Amino acid sequence: MRGLVGPVVGALACGAVLAWSAGSGYAEGLVALGATYSLLALGMWVPFVLGGSLSMAYSVYLAVGGYVVGFGILELGWPLLPCLLVGIVIAVLVAVALGAATRRLSGFYLAAVTLLAAAAFEAWLLDATGLTGGSTGLRGIPLTAIGSLEITRWGLLVTAVVLTWVVAVLFDRLRSSNFGVALRAQRHVPAAVQASGIGTQALSLVGQGLGAAVAALGGAFFAAINSGVGPETFTPNLVFLAIFMPLIGGVRTAWGAVLGAALVVVLTVYVHLPGDAGSLVLSLAALVILLLWPNGLLGQLRAGVDRLSNTLRGGAS
């Protein structure tokens, strides 16, 4: 029963958000941003929250997804679907290569080196004008058709939101599966997991690849929905925000990443606070939540529900 709460409430929330945005270009843009942030946070959730390795290169995977869509459609005349798939494959390969190169690093050193890689990639985006359009990026990506099916901006948005829901549901299942349990265990006791016969470096690489695939999906949809992508679209700053998303929302379920992403969009974009006050409010909120409720908002909610049902049961007997 409990296993259905996440999917059902998540579906209702996704539906409500889509209904709220329908018809307003601005609101649709916010939802597109929310879906992209959610997919980014979900992608990072596997290696970071489950596996305990903080790679900062996720802006690269977002950008790979976005740029391949732009380049494929604009320059090669490809339909959207193969662009999506190629972007995902490239992002996975980059993630596995970077993960293999940094396999002996962890904690601060891993974060620092992957951040450097992300900065280098950003610089490369500006340089490789033939591929990336340099500082202007790739603009005016047309909406293509899949076979006879016309793709609309609204259709893409609905698809992105549905995909977010699907990934959150699948990742929640993954968490409790053999792979998820092994990944969570190697975070704390790698020697014991190795002594059981599981190569922890390979395990972590597979987690990185999976996360990169989901982030690339997010980047691809963002570029397609906004018909453009540029070097300023996915910066390492975004990855800093994404670290806090699951911490705010809750680390024990993938829905925490989605809730955190939604809150970040609301606080930094939707609520018009002067200057950069949104980020300030966000960091304060994150700090307070981390201090008071280490399991995040959803963890706190669940504890509250448990207490309430215990009280009710106690009162009835």
Residues lying near another protein in the complex (CB under 8 A) are found at 3, 170-171, 173-174, 176-182, 184-185, 187-189, 191-200, 202-203, 205-206, 210
CB of 303 to another protein, least distance (A): 14
Whole-number minimum distance, CB 294 to another protein, in Å? 11
* 192 versus 284: smaller Cβ distance to another protein: 192
What is the smallest separation between the CB atom of 207 and another protein, expressed in angstroms? Answer: 8
CA angle 117, 120, 123 (to 5 degrees): 155
Q: How far is the CB of 12 from another protein (least distance, A)?
A: 22
d(C-alpha 103, C-alpha 93), whole Å: 15
The residue behind tokens 């293509």 is 144
57-81: b (≥16 Cβ within 10 Å) or e: bbbbbbbbbbbbbbbbbbeeebebe
Residue from 222, 251, 249, 246 nearest 234 by CA: 222
DSSP state of 146: B
**Residue 52 or 155 with smaller CB distance to another protein:** 52
- Smallest gap from Cβ 170 to another protein, in A, equals 4
Nearest approach in angstroms of CB 307 to another protein is: 18
State which residue, 112 or 166, has the beta carbon closest to another protein.
166
Amino acid, res. 296: G
CA 57, CA 239: separation in Å to the nearest integer? 8
198: left (phi over 0), alpha (psi -120 to 50) or beta: beta
Q: What is the smallest separation between the CB atom of 200 and another protein, expressed in angstroms?
A: 7
3-state secondary structure of 235: coil
- Residue whose CB is less far from another protein, 34 or 211: 211
Nearest residue (CB) to another protein, 149 versus 191: 191
CB 186 within 8 A of CB 204: yes
152 vs 196 by CB, closer to another protein: 196
Q: Burial, 252: exposed, middle or buried (Cβ in 10 Å; 0-12, 13-18, 19+)?
A: middle
Question: How near is the Cβ of 6 to another protein at its closest, in Å?
Answer: 12
Cβ-based nearer residue to another protein, 50 or 265: 50
For residue 269, give the H/E element and its range.
Answer: none
Task: For another protein, give the closer residue by CB, 88 or 115.
Answer: 88
Query: Buried (b) or exposed (e) across 269-298, using 16+ Cβ within 10 A?
Result: eeeeeeeeebbeebeebbeebeeebebbbb
Beta strands in the chain (DSSP E): 138-139, 228-229
